[in-house]
């Protein structure tokens, strides 16, 4: 089975994340969306909310699994037998950052990173932009899957 791990904080999941996951489904037998837990980071949405947003967005897609993890991504890949890490690239800055991580992961393990370019229509969207729109009472719904609901 070709299993890919798509790690992130997903605070919240965006249409860019959604696009990468949907496209990853065609490349892999299973895409595990893994929400990283970082106790030092302040999140807008709770871990349960973030997990629910993703699970609801992919409720009709059996090839997508959603979980949480702590520690090194490559250690979690080994634990769940994921041979690939899936990442999306929006711009050159993303590439430089992700390239360094991918080289490090490959040095520490045999796990390959597969990069997908985000679709042009979603390349400007980031979770931090979505959070800013939400904080300022803007229409965040055009940036996220329908499953993302702000209380």
User: Which residues are within 8 A (CB) of 86 and not within 5 positions of it... i.e. 6 or more apart?
Assistant: 4, 5, 6, 20, 24, 28, 31, 113, 114, 116
pLDDT digits (tens, 9 = 90+) for 57-67: 999 999 999 99
Residue 151 lies in a domain: no
Please indicate whether residue 127 is annotated as part of the active site. Answer: yes
User: Residue 147: inside a domain, yes or no?
Assistant: no
Domain span at 112: 3-142
Q: Is 2 a catalytic residue?
A: no
Residue 54 lies in a domain: yes
Q: State the pTM of this model.
A: 0.95
pLDDT digits 0-9 by tens, 37-80 = 987 889 999 999 999 999 999 999 999 999 999 999 999 999 99
The secondary structure of residue 31, as a DSSP letter, is E
Select which of 3, 65, 90, 99 is catalytic.
Answer: 90
33 domain residue, yes or no: yes
- 128 in active site: no
Residue 150 maps to a domain: no
Residue 56 maps to a domain:
yes
Q: How many domains does the chain have?
A: 1
CATH of the domain at 99: 3.40.50.620
Q: Is 90 noted as a catalytic residue in this protein?
A: yes
Given 41, 42, 107, 151, the catalytic residue? 41
Residue 149 falls inside a structural domain: no
């Amino acid at each position: 089975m070709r299993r890919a791990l798509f790690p992130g904080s997903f605070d919240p999941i965006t249409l860019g994340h959604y696009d990468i996951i949907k496209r990853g489904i065609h490349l892999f037998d299973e895409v595990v969306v893994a929400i990283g837990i970082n106790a030092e980071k302040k999140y807008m949405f709770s871990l349960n909310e973030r997990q629910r947003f993703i699970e609801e967005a992919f409720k009709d897609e059996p090839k997508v699994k959603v979980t949480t993890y702590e520690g090194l991504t490559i250690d979690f890949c080994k634990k769940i037998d994921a041979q690939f890490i899936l990442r999306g690239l929006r711009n050159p800055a993303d590439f430089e950052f992700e390239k360094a991580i991918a080289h490090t992961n490959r040095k520490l393990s045999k796990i390959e990173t597969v990069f997908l370019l985000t679709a042009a229509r979603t390349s400007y969207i980031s979770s931090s932009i979505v959070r800013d729109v939400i904080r300022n009472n803007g229409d965040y719904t055009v940036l996220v899957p329908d499953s993302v609901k702000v209380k």
